[in-house]
Amino acid sequence: MNNYANANYINGEWYSNGDGTYLEVKNKFSGENLSKLPNATQQQMNKAIESAQAAFEVYRRLSVGERVNLMQKLLQKLEENKVQMVDLIVAEAGKPRTYAETELERSLSTLQFAIEEAKHFSGEVIQMDFANGEGRKAFTQHFPVGVVACITPFNFPLNLLMHKVAPALAVGCSLVVKPPPQAPLSAFALAEMMQEVGFPLGVINVLNCKIEVAEQLVRDERPKMLSFTGSDKVGWHLKSICGKKKCVLELGGNAAALVDLDVSVKESAEKLAKAAFLYAGQICISTQRIFVHKAIFESFKKVFIQETEKLKVGDPNEAKTWVGPLIDENAFKRTKEWIAEAKKQGAEVLLGGNVLDEESRLIAPTVFTNTNREMKIYSEEAFAPIAVLEKVDGFEEGLKAVNDSRYGLQAGVFTNNLAHFKLAVDQLQVGGIIFNDSPGFRIDHMPYGGVKDSGLGKEGLKYSMQEMTEERFVVY
């Protein structure tokens, strides 16, 4: 693995030239230069789409066994390069090492799930032997949709990419990938590994490029699907320009947790403190808003603050670090502005609210109360080490507070009351409800996706594979 650091990857070739401008990729904590990537030209993007289209005609004709064999080789190659990939994730994404190790293991699981699902992924037999269908038989069969245009985020530079690559490989699609400018190197490393294990040339193409070239990929009619993970603003814009192609959007949120009066204060506070500030809150299902029944609010607040104070902030390379740097200067500046704005508007700071290290972009875990929906820290996606803690008079009021958002990705509900369990299932406007744990819970094969501004469609291997195929109905 040594080609990926300074070149784009198109049809099995590495291009160190581009439009004459470059993206400098830096270590997010030390500032050390990691790579100087060329920005791809429109002609190179066109070549990548052409290559993916040609490769699709080859790859889709491989048997499931042949595709699984290649995927198994990729799994082994990724396993062999675990240490190097973890180092890369820590460096380019600023992710705490233990969490980067978790991401690597999840990436392996995601690929393994796709391998297993590929062997069983099929249509269904439709009963036709009644009414006007007597004597006939019918079934459905899934066919790969074609070239998939993939745009991925920085916070899981390998595993969220794998959530697009693995199902595409399983069903027979090819890909053109535009990785995140903050952390693009994991995508190029994966492409190189695919090259080394023998995937047909053009099955994956990875290009660092400017916005107008990325939009060229989205607008082009040859890719038949757009799979995007990122901010809601960008995602919905891309949907508006993607034309007739299929579209799956995994977008942001300001995930909420609701704590009922009958649960363990210590256990719920500990779980939510860790979930709110892991990776400096740079996770789309990071716990941002916490609503606690008034009967236990003061005791919960005390334990939550104590647990938050235990979290180590600093160098992501150090083993016990939980809260690392914000990804770039824009995120750092925005977070400082939002904190200052909330203070000015009357929010009470229970903890933090200050910069710990300007150069390394470290902000102390910050807990607010006395907030309202006019404040960005409450109504928008913070993607920062910020949590809002508020009391509610009862469980139903808490459900309304959780729903008081234009987002709806996942929610955590802590309760041991069966009636409240049923009520939450019936009333919460989110894609996933996690009981007695934080909204940040995710296992990679589960269906994952939001409602409202949080997205469109589902990920999770079987569900992504369904999105990446077209169903054909056959009667005889």
How is domain 4-251+454-475 classified at the architecture level of CATH? 3-Layer(aba) Sandwich (3.40)
Q: Enumerate helices (H) and strands (E) in the chain, giving the number of each.
A: 15, 26
Query: Which of 247, 284, 381, 390 is flagged as catalytic?
Result: 284
Please write the tens of the pLDDT for every residue from 404-437: 999 999 999 999 999 999 999 999 999 999 999 9
Calpha distance 192→4 (Å, rounded) = 7
Asked if residues 6 and 36 have their Cβ atoms less than 8 Å apart, the reply is yes
The parts of the chain modelled with pLDDT lower than 50 are none
pLDDT at 292: 98
pLDDT at 2: 60
pLDDT at 3: 58
Q: Which residues of 20-36 are buried (b: 16+ CB within 10 A; e: fewer)?
A: eeebebbbbbbeeebbe
Q: Please identify, in words, the CATH class of the domain defined by 256-443.
A: alpha beta
Query: Which of 103, 250, 307, 459 is flagged as catalytic?
Result: 250
Please write the tens of the pLDDT for every residue from 278-297: 999 999 999 999 999 999 99
284 is catalytic: yes
Give the tokens for residue 214: 């990325």
Q: What are phi and psi of 8, to 5 degrees?
A: -85, 160
pLDDT at 5: 75
For the chain, the domains span 4-251+454-475, 256-443
150 is catalytic: no
